[in-house]
Amino acid sequence: MAITKVVIAAAGQGTRMLRLTNNKPKHLINVCKRPFLAYLLDNLFKAGYKDIILVVGYKEDLMKEFLGKYRSSIKNPKKIITLISQYEILGSKEKEYGTACPVKCVKDAVAGEPFVFLYGDNLYSVEDLRKMNRDDEYCYVAGIENENPEKYGVLITEGGFLKEIIEKPKKYVGNLINTGLYKFTPDIFKKLPQIKKSSRGEFEITDAVSLLAKEKKVKVKKIEDYWKDFGNPGDVIKISKLFKNGFFKKFKRPPK
């Protein structure tokens, strides 16, 4: 059965964006006169996903306002976007925070189905998003080769399976890095209660993924087109230039 549900983590402020997020979440910063999040939603719907769950927190009212406008622009009742408040379910970021928190919030919403999980400040091609729609019993993590793997979580693989994730390794262990794009089965919810706060004081989804990897339940899928992170002010300029130069149009391909 094809996966229809996608969970987008978009609760954070995005402090690395500095003053740009004083009054809005980073996901709503404009790129070529549109909020960044709109491009991600566009690509997810084009990839065939129909039920998107947006987990929000910071400036939730602005997210609601954005969704109202976005829904009216697509005018398709078969494309569903549901908003879930992380702060209402888990409390403020001071109480509980981290990349595992949005997944904790959607257990009831995904209703025992597999789903795709990603962050609202990342952009992938339609084709790469489509390839995460894996109809099997495994979880998946998407990786891409990078020239500076020491800045990221490096995926160590063995026979197509994820063996472990080494965060920001001080010496070279490989160059396939974690892009924050996952396909999860309901098994992920069995591991979330087992993880503890990381050294950063946060609950990390990679810790839950690592527990599944030990049981050979996680496979690795390579990103073939692109992964664009929207994390700091310089990225606003970079991605705007890519749109203006037609970079993303090169990856528009019809469904197979």
**CATH at residue 84:** 3.90.550.10
| pLDDT the model gives residue 77 | 79
| pLDDT the model gives residue 74 | 85
Distance CA 3, CA 102 (A): 19
For residue 50, is it within any domain?
yes
Q: What residue type is assigned to position 233 of the chain?
A: P
With a CB cutoff of 8 Å and minimum separation 6, the contacts of 228 are 122, 123, 124, 235, 238, 239, 242
For residue 192, is it within any domain?
yes
Which contacts qualify for 46-49: CB closer than 8 Å, 24 or more apart? Answer: 46/126, 47/126, 47/127, 47/129, 47/130, 47/133, 48/2, 48/130, 48/133, 48/255, 49/3, 49/4, 49/5, 49/6, 49/116, 49/129, 49/133
Q: Tokens for 75, please give them.
A: 């005018």
Output the CA torsion sign for 248, 71, 183, 152.
positive
Crossing angle of helices 60-74 and 36-46, rounded to 10°: 50
Task: Tally Cβ neighbours within 10 Å of residue 215.
Answer: 9
For residue 58, is it within any domain?
yes
Task: Tally Cβ neighbours within 10 Å of residue 18.
Answer: 10
Domain count, the chain: 1
Q: Tokens for 152, please give them.
A: 């990221």
| pLDDT the model gives residue 254 | 63
pLDDT along the chain (256 residues), means of 10: 93 92 95 97 96 96 96 86 96 88 97 96 97 96 97 96 95 97 98 93 95 98 96 95 94 70
Range of 106's domain? 5-251
For residue 256, is it within any domain?
no
| pLDDT the model gives residue 1 | 66
